[in-house]
Every structure is written in structure tokens, then in C-alpha cells.
Amino acid sequence: MTRSLAEVREALAKGESPEAIVRRSVDAIRAKDHDIGAFLHVADRAMDHGERRMNPPPLAGVADGGLRMNPQPLGGVAIAVKDNIVVAGLPATCGSRILDGYVPPDTATAVARLEAAGATVVGKTNLDEFAMGSSTEHSAFHPTRNPLDLERVPGGSSGGSAAAVAAGMVPIALGSDTGGSVRQPAAYCGVVGLKPTWGRVSRRGLIAFASSLDQIGIFARSAIDCAPVLAAMAGRDPLDSTSSDRPVDDYASLAGRGIDGRRFGVIAEALALLGSEERRGFDEALDAIRKKGGVVETVTVPLLTQAVAIYSIVANAEASANLARFDGVRYGERAGEGSLSSMYVTTRSRGFGAEVKRRIMLGTFALSAGYYEAYYGRAQRARRALAAQLAKALASVDMLVTPTTPGPAFRLGEKLADPLDMYLTDLFTVPANLAGLPAIAIPFGHAENGMPLSVQLMGRAWEEASLIACAEEIETRQKAEGRRQK
């Protein structure tokens, strides 16, 4: 088992082949995943598949991704991919019955670029259906359990990817982050989760939930491991017109300049919402930042408290439109005959689960005649105002710091009865999506029940390198002080 890119490099230096290193990840999945349920599909003939994939055809445009210097920077790296990101020849269910049996003919640009950099996809990971949820309990197939405590959820919606990295099955996993779906599960599972700036990584091949918020993100055991993965994935993709043509930074080499002398803004409205235990953990993280030479200030973002309300309307309005394509005509499960419209209705009513129906209903309502302005229009204005408040705060400090989540991982079933209670676990993560900003979740300390706590850094657009550099120093500080083990 290889838990980090450093371990992969060490194994390569000892003369192990990339294939053999990847095979160890596949073995780890076979040995561990029975109890955890991180994967929906392990590339069963992983090695045929892997070996074929290890020599992918040359990919146009890859040289722009910073790969010119080293043709195989991710050789021997096994990656797990959330099942709403397509990989040719492997199923892509989105955790939904409606896509059961669907095998995409093409590979997402982000994954194709990682493969071109030497990485090997070893499986597809579980998620809340269509990435709608915060616990991975809304998967149509099975829930995923938190590897640190099997009675608790791994978070969501990218819970399978977070669990796969936390359990040491793979060193790197991809997720999608629409409102915190990478950072919240990273926090619950005690790993690092990075959501890049909207437009930094191509969304082509990411099955859309809310297009103005969705971004592919990275799970890793340490912040620095995100650097070569982001460098390989990022950059302009002609097939995603919203992808940016800004040059891609060399994240690994920039990771040297960290916390010292930088200004960190604590959002006052976030502090007010913390319980005493979370406040204690967060204060320790702030101390670590100060000890590394960072300047901690208080900033105010009054609309933070409305972020989940804004998100509930904007994300679900977009979802209701994006999920209209699942109608039984071109792919997936078809149900019902008679007329075309009754086939649509039967297919969708049988194929979608309860949470997805709830979101489609909420979004359809918010966009419907007579309610559009009162809900969608108002939410969009509030979204702009929130983004402006974040921009103003980020003009006076270099980055914002909050806990990643209001509390640690909860028990399976604990929040299923009340959807709103579940949505509020994303309170600190949705602002970055609403404003398109990059953010990183870093494990820091533990709650009294032994579950990990996590701190989030949110930066200015395109400043992922600063986030990675500072996150790395916070980790180092934490390790130096000795991690309180469960």
C-alpha cells in the first residue's frame, strides 16, 4: 500500500515498477473495502486495464499542463475517481439507478491528463446520488463508512474518494466540489481536500450538477501531494469553454513561500457559530499559524450566515435544468411505455432517489413562473453580494481561515430525517463555490470523540499555490507538536 506520493517515489527509487506499485493499491482495495464501501467499481481486470492505460495515446495540449520537463510525474500513482467523472470503459453511475449500466465512451479531460502524466485509474468511488448530499448515505447502491470509525459517515458527496485515501487504499483521489463535496468529506476523514478556482480544471466529463459551482478537486494525504496532481490537471481545455487559459503555476516549486508574513482573516460570523469544542480546535490552528509567522486578523462577511440559503436555491435551480437530460431516451435505465411523456415520467420517478427528487423539485419551483424573481433572482443577487464581501475581505488579508465544517463526522442515519440539518454541514464550504474561489481543507486536531477536525483556507482566485504552501506548513506544525491519536 502506498499512502503518499513520497512513498510512491521511494518505491520507484528502490526499483519497483509503476505497475507493481499500482497493483499494491488494487490489493489494498480488495483487502479493505469490504468494510468501508468506498468503491462502486474496482477496475476488475485492473491490471489489463491499468497496463493499457499506462501507455495512453499522446494527448493534445498536455504540454501546456506543465508536463514538458518530466513526462511521467505521476508514474506509479493509483488514483480513485468519483463515479460522476467519466473514464472510458468503466461504469459511471453517479450513484444513481438511472445510470445503472451506463459505460461512457470517453474520458474526462482531467483524468486523461492525469493518465498522460503516468497515473492509473484503479476504480470509481461512491457518492451521494448525483453528488447531492453530505454523507454518501444518498448513494442508490450502498453507504460508505468512515475508515476512522465505521459507525460514522465519511461525509459527502465525495465520501468514497475521501474514504479511499483515508484508508490508505490510494494516495490520490478525485472528487467534485459543488458546495463542499471535496472539503467536507476530507475533513470528516482526516485527509487534505483541495477545491481549485472555478475554471482552473476542465469540467468536461464531470457529469453536471450545478455548472456555475462545480469544480473537480483532489484528495491527498498531504497538501504538497496536491501540487503535481493539480499541475497535471489544470489548464485550458478547448472542450470546456469555461476553463481558463491563465498559465498554470508550478505549484510544487511555489510551495516554499508559506505562512511567514502573510495575513489571515478569521471570519467573525463563522466564529460566532462554533461550539466550544470546535472553537478550541480552531484556536489551536490559529496558534499554529501565528507561530509560523502569520498575522491573524478578524474580518467580517455578514452574508456568510445566508450562504446555505443562497446555495440551496442556486445549486438546485441549476440541478433541475442539468438533470432534465435523464429522460430514458439516450442512455441509462428506461421505464414505462405508452406515450413519450409517460415514459419520461416513469423513467425519472423510478430512476431518481428521494434526495435528488427533493432537489429537482426545489430547483424547478425556484425557476417556475411567478416564483423565479422571488427565489432565483433574489438568490443570485445575494450570491453576488456575498462574493463582493469575500473579495473585500480578501483585499485586506491574503486568505481567509475557517473551520472546514461546523463539527466532526456524525453517525450514520443521524441527519437523514432532516435534510436542512444535513445541508448546514456545508455552511463554511459553500461560500468558496458561490464566489468561485479556491479553498483547501487541512486536518487539524481531534474532537473529544476522537474524530478529526479540519481547518479551511480560502484564497483569492488562482492562488492555489499559496493555499498549498500554507497548508503544508500548518500540517508540519501539527506533526511537530505531535498528533493526538484516537
| Contact residues: other proteins, CB under 8 A | 101-106, 238-239, 241-242, 303, 305-306, 308-310, 312-313, 320, 324, 327-334, 337-346, 348-349, 352, 354, 357-358, 360-362, 364-365, 368, 375, 378-382, 384-385, 388, 418-420, 423
Nearer to other proteins, 302 or 450 (CB): 302
Q: Is 392 a catalytic residue?
A: no
Rounded (10°) CA dihedral 52, 74, 158, 268: -170
Please identify which of the residues 139, 176, 181, 466 carries the catalytic annotation: 181
Smallest distance from the beta carbon of 340 to other proteins, in angstroms? 5
For 318, the enclosing helix (H) or strand (E) is: helix 307-322
Cα–Cα distance between 2 and 21 in angstroms, integer?
7
Smallest distance from the beta carbon of 339 to other proteins, in angstroms? 3
Q: Which residues contact 165 (CB under 8 A, 6 or more apart)?
A: 80, 171, 172, 173, 189, 191, 219, 220, 221
Side chain identity at residue 221, one-letter code: R
Nearer to other proteins, 251 or 344 (CB): 344
Smallest distance from the beta carbon of 422 to other proteins, in angstroms? 11
Smallest distance from the beta carbon of 241 to other proteins, in angstroms? 5
Smallest distance from the beta carbon of 414 to other proteins, in angstroms? 17
Residue 278 to residues 24, 127, 270, Cα–Cα distance (Å): 37, 26, 11
Using CB atoms within 10 A of its CB, is residue 141 exposed (0-12), middle (13-18) or buried (19+)? middle
Please identify which of the residues 4, 139, 157, 243 carries the catalytic annotation: 157
Smallest distance from the beta carbon of 143 to other proteins, in angstroms? 20
* Rounded-to-5 percentages of helix, strand, coil across the chain: 45, 15, 45
Which cell is 200 given? 482552473
The answer to whether 473 and 459 are in contact (CB under 8 A) is no
Closest to 366 measured CA to CA, from 353, 350, 380: 380
Q: Is 368 a catalytic residue?
A: no
Please identify which of the residues 4, 25, 82, 134 carries the catalytic annotation: 82
CB atoms within 10 A of CB 41: 17
Smallest distance from the beta carbon of 211 to other proteins, in angstroms? 9
Cα–Cα distance between 89 and 307 in angstroms, integer?
38
Cα–Cα distance between 366 and 386 in angstroms, integer?
20
Secondary structure of residue 296 in the 3-state scheme: strand
Q: Which residues contact 420 (CB under 8 A, 6 or more apart)?
A: none
Cα–Cα distance between 285 and 156 in angstroms, integer?
24
Smallest distance from the beta carbon of 341 to other proteins, in angstroms? 7
Nearer to other proteins, 284 or 333 (CB): 333
453 φ/ψ angles, rounded to the nearest 5 degrees: -105, 170
Closest to 86 measured CA to CA, from 53, 57, 108: 108
Residue 41 to residues 81, 141, 182, 296, 401, Cα–Cα distance (Å): 10, 11, 20, 44, 36
CB atoms within 10 A of CB 359: 25
Q: Is 17 a catalytic residue?
A: no
Nearer to other proteins, 241 or 276 (CB): 241
Q: Which residues are catalytic?
A: 82, 157, 181
